[in-house]
Amino acid sequence: MLLVYNRQTLVVKLVKSMKIQELSNAEKVSLAQELWDSVIIDQQALPVTQEQIEELDHRLAQFDMDEDSGASWQEVKARILKT
């Protein structure tokens, strides 16, 4: 029987074999930081479309016009926790 695995399935199997649940919280945070660092090193790993660039430019321009617009982290967090 031939088993075909996609990359995501292999990653899940790798993670499960690492027994992450046995790590301390500090070790889990350290692992997450290492993973994130490896993602941001290669900016090509997360391609940005022209549409996304234009949206980000638009949002930045809006912020530059009125830096007081938007909501504080406390307000956003409260809104999230309320739902």
Both structure tokens of 53: 């660039």
Mind listing the pLDDT tens digit for each residue in 36-55? 888 777 766 678 899 999 99
Burial of 31 (0-12, 13-18, 19+ CB in 10 A): middle
In whole angstroms, give the CA distance from residue 24 to residue 36. 18
Q: How far is CA 68 from the centre of its chain?
A: 26
Cα–Cα distance measured from residue 62 to residue 5, given in angstroms and rounded to the nearest whole number = 45
pLDDT higher than 80, residue 59 = yes
Could you give the CA distance from residue 63 to residue 56 in angstroms, rounded to a whole number? 11
**pLDDT for res 54:** 96
